[in-house]
Amino acid sequence: MNRGECFPATNATVLECAADQWRAPGSTACLPALCSLSLLDTVGYAAVALAGILAIALGYRLFRLAFTLLALALGGLTWLALIQYAPHLSLAARIASSSIAALLALLILHSALRAGIFAVGACAGIVLMGVVLSIPAAGSQLVAHTSPLVRLVIVAAVAFATGVVALMAERMVLILATSWVGSFAFFVAFDVFLAAAGIGCGSHLALSRWQSGYFRAAVGRVLVSLQIYAYSPPPQPAATLSFFALLAAFVVTTACGVAVQTTWTIGSFHHRHRHSSSPQPLVLSVTSPLLQQP
């Protein structure tokens, strides 16, 4: 296949076309109109982009809404299962069982969320200790004066402490996570639309080894652009420049999401605090005989 050419079949996907352009060393031709998104692909990627924007704007509130809706859905499934497999139960028993199932699902989801936040904080602590140990002065002193068991205990203690700190800052962790995930989803969809429009000359998501999904394609593209993942030929300069342009936009969007969600959180906190601390109106009770009507 010549450089800059696309697949001759009209059903070639945009990921296949972008991968073919990537494999053409020195190619400067952009994707032709043949490499276009189908209607289903367009709707799907548009939904991903919209979900990313909602995650950036609403943030952790989406978690609460999603957990509530999922718990209600599980309660409804419990209701249907009881109707199907236990028709002899009374209406009150079905209502009670479905309500208990929904409440248990909500508790489990919130517990899983908190466990995930603790795990993220613990991983951050382990990474922090890895950075400290990689410093020659600190690492050599720690290795020289401690045994492997003591170092393991220190790492575990730091991981536990950072996990607890992450739980204490649960809302901020969720704000950061939703801003990052929302920006990632939006720019994945946006980059695919750029590839379909023929903008960027093949400097897009797809690699032949990462075509099973756009998230895996994005991960592969990031690794190749940073030259972490061994791939031949190396990325073209246009691809690297395009990657860093998208990376800069991604960082800015994530920061905007954090700023917007933090502002909303502070504003709602001050609103609740102002209403809770506002003086209550005085209600005078007329009890003096001198003030009573005869």
d(CA 280, CA 166): 37
Nearest CA to 18 out of 185, 210, 183 is that of: 210
Residues 129 and 158: beta-carbon distance below 8 Å: yes
pTM of the model as a whole: 0.51
At residue 37, the pLDDT reads: 60
What distance, in Å, lies between the first and last C-alpha atoms of the chain? 108
Half-sphere exposure of 60 (CA within 13 A, CB side): 19
Distance of CA 223 to the CA centre of its chain: 19
Residue 284's pLDDT is what? 43
pLDDT band at residue 38, thresholds of 50, 70 and 90? low
Task: Name the band, by pLDDT with cuts 50, 70 and 90, for residue 198.
Answer: low
Range with lowest mean pLDDT among 111-115, 231-235, 263-267: 231-235
The per-residue pLDDT for range 206-260, each reduced to its tens digit, is: 333 333 344 444 444 444 444 444 444 444 444 444 556 666 777 777 788 778 7
More confident residue, 197 or 112: 112
Domain assignments of the chain as residue spans, ordered by start = 34-268
What is the reported pLDDT for 270? 64
Q: At what angle do helices 170-197 and 148-168 cross, to 10 degrees?
A: 90
- pLDDT given for residue 274 in this prediction: 67
What would the two tokens of residue 281 be? 């109106």
Q: What is the pLDDT of residue 62?
A: 76
Tokens matching residue 63: 């978690």
User: Is residue 148 predicted with pLDDT exceeding 80?
Assistant: no
DSSP sequence for 120-187: HHHHHHHHHHHHHHHSHHHHHHHHHHS-HHHHHHHHHHHHHHHHHHHHHTHHHHHHHHHHHHHHHHHH
**Mean pLDDT in residue range 120-129:** 84
The pLDDT of residue 126 is 84
pLDDT in the model for residue 227: 43
Q: What is the DSSP letter of 221?
A: H
The pLDDT of residue 194: 66
Sign of CA dihedral 121, 125, 131, 132: positive
Best-predicted range by mean pLDDT (55-69, 161-175, 199-213) = 161-175
pLDDT-based confidence at residue 129 (cuts at 50, 70, 90): confident
CA distances to 112, 161, 237 from 165, rounded to whole Å, are 17, 6, 42
* Exposed/middle/buried for residue 7 (C-beta within 10 Å: 0-12, 13-18, 19+): middle
- Predicted confidence (pLDDT) at residue 111 exceeds the cutoff of 80: yes
